[in-house]
């Protein structure tokens, strides 16, 4: 792998130049920008989830425990997912364990992370749907940040962009070990910056979900928004990439198919959830932040206080009489 990549965005007036994928060294040990960016994204996700958990009444200690297990098993899931769909790249157990050689698939991390959250929440007796709502948008933010790790590696790009294409102005000029192997040239090629497309798509989704966050009608609704939004965008962006994972020799892109399924299932669950809580407002699925319920409780409390005051006045009158 080339230690430096050459990059430019001529349509945006950015000439660019050479960029190293090594952030810094500790002795002879190189710390890659990819790892630094991913770690920073994880911290952003935890910070966001901590803010939302505080609002939901979930302690930061509980969140920390959940985060540790989720990150650990998430990384394992991301690696196993990649290995499962590209077995020819690995020839020994060491190849599988050597994460520095690259090869993490975000969908594997998300799936393993979601399962881990449910298990830990059940053990701690925390509503996992509420935790999903708190964590989902933060994961989306981490993914937006994490895609820039791909930028420093000169990877996760799309095919050549032809002049006249609607996204031609966003074209990225790139020279990296991956462009050399994909296009057979050591010269600069102009490709779709799919890492940028996905990063911008996730940021937009993060903003929209936060605008409607407190309007949720049932627990888990915002997490489903995240899944549907990400799946819909990934379904299209994946079709542009040159490094997609395929299902055997079928020509079907794994992440594109999974993106479609996640979008379809999450959208259906959102619709069914809204119908359910509308017909069953007292359901355990309904959000604890349902404003009408709070208002009714307040009215009943005020009524009880008023009746209590009237009874006290009657008792005082009887004593005086």
DSSP class per residue in 244-261: --BSTTS--BHHHHHHHH
Q: What is the pLDDT of residues 242-256, one digit of tens each?
A: 988 898 888 899 999
pLDDT band at 314 (very low <50, low <70, confident <90, very high): low
Taking the CA of residue 264 as centre, how many other CA atoms within 13 Å lie in the half-sphere pointing to its CB? 7
Mean pLDDT for 22-41 is: 92
Smallest Cα–Cα separation from 48: which of 143, 151, 148? 143
Average pLDDT for the chain: 88
Share of the chain above pLDDT 70, in %: 89
Residue 310 scores a pLDDT above 70: no
User: Residue 49 is encoded by which pair of tokens?
Assistant: 């989830």
Residue 94's CB: how many other CB atoms inside 10 A? 9
In tens, the pLDDT along 158-196 reads 999 999 999 999 999 999 999 999 999 999 999 999 999
Measured from the Cβ of residue 216, the count of other Cβ atoms closer than 10 Å reads 22
Q: How many CB atoms within 10 Å of residue 71?
A: 17
CB-based contact 304:310 (threshold 8 Å): no
Confidence of residue 295 (pLDDT cuts 50, 70, 90): very low
Angle between the N-to-C axes of helices 254-279 and 106-124, in degrees from 0 to 180, rounded to the nearest 10: 40
Asked whether the beta carbons of 70 and 117 are under 8 A apart, the reply is yes
């Amino acid at each position: 792998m080339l230690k430096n990549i050459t990059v430019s965005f001529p349509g945006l007036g950015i000439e660019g130049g050479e960029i190293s994928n090594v952030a810094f060294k500790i002795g002879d040990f190189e710390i890659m920008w990819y790892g630094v960016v991913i770690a920073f994204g994880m911290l952003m996700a935890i910070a966001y989830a901590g803010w939302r958990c505080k609002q939901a009444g979930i302690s930061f200690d509980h969140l920390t425990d959940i985060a540790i297990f989720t990150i650990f098993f998430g990384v394992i899931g991301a690696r196993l997912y990649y290995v499962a769909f590209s077995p020819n790249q690995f020839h020994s157990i060491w190849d599988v364990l050597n994460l520095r050689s690259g090869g993490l698939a975000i969908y594997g991390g998300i799936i393993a992370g979601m399962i881990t959250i449910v298990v830990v929440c059940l053990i701690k007796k925390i509503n996992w749907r509420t935790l999903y709502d708190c964590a989902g948008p933060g994961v989306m933010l981490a993914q937006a940040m994490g895609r820039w790790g791909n930028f420093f590696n000169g990877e996760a790009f799309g095919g050549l962009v032809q002049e006249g294409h609607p996204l031609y102005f966003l074209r990225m000029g790139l020279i990296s070990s991956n462009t050399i192997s994909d296009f057979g040239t050591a010269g600069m090629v102009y490709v779709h910056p799919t890492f940028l497309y996905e990063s911008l798509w996730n940021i937009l989704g993060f903003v929209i979900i936060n605008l409607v966050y407190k309007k949720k009608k049932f627990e888990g609704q915002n997490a489903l928004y995240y899944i549907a939004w990400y799946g819909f965008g990934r379904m299209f962006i994946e079709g542009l990439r040159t490094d997609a994972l395929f299902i055997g020799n079928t020509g079907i892109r794994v992440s594109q198919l999974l993106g479609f399924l996640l979008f379809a299932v999450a959208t259906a669950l959102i619709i069914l959830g809204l119908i359910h809580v509308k017909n069953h407002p007292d359901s355990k699925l309904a959000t604890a932040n349902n404003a009408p319920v709070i208002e009714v409780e307040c009215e009943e409390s005020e009524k009880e206080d008023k009746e209590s005051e009237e009874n006290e006045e009657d008792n005082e009158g009887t004593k005086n009489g």
